[in-house]
Amino acid sequence: MTPPPEAIQLVRQWIAKAQEDIQAVDSLLRFPEECPAGVVCFHSQQCIEKYVKALLVLHSIPFPKTHDLIDLLRLVPMKARPALPQTDLALLNRYAVESRYPGDWGVITTEEALEAAAVARRLREAIQRILPQDVLQ
């Protein structure tokens, strides 16, 4: 089943926004000792959230307003679901809220930011491998 052109266009928009997030990560990490680690972690999480939502749009699956990567990925049909380690998703899930709001959690370190960015790049590549090539153009 080929998705309608409107769906393909929306998938591309989700991917474009995800790419902006990873570009922000790359820009911020040019000077890792000076970068706001929480912002890097947030954009790393956002990149993957948007890629997973692109997959859901591609398969015409409605999704709730949530930032939980594990819950979102569970909505993707098994045959279309990329193999993304739950430990990686859980690591990024933490940054959907913790990195943006005050609370009773520890300071996010540069090392955590570097790890979140590496995880986001790895997961992004896994998702890109299963997306139809015409969507990535």
Q: Hey, what amino acid is at 12?
A: R
Q: Under DSSP, is residue 28 helix (H, G, I), strand (E, B) or coil? A: helix
The whole-chain average pLDDT of the chain stands at: 93
Cα gap 131→41, rounded to integer Å: 24
- Taking 80 as the threshold, does the pLDDT of residue 74 lie above it? yes
Distances (CA, A) of 55 to 17, 40, 93, 121: 14, 23, 18, 17
pLDDT at position 15, please? 97
Band the pLDDT of 1: cuts 50, 70, 90. Answer: low
What mean pLDDT comes out for the span 104-115? 92
pLDDT at position 33, please? 87
Give residue-wise pLDDT tens across range 5-54. 888 999 999 999 999 999 999 999 999 889 999 999 999 999 999 999 99
Q: Hey, what amino acid is at 14?
A: W
Which domains, from first to last, does the chain contain? 5-132 (1.20.120.330)
Q: Under DSSP, is residue 94 helix (H, G, I), strand (E, B) or coil? A: helix
What mean pLDDT comes out for the span 86-94? 97
Q: Hey, what amino acid is at 29?
A: L
pLDDT at position 99, please? 77
pLDDT at position 96, please? 93
Give residue-wise pLDDT tens across range 124-137. 999 999 998 888 77
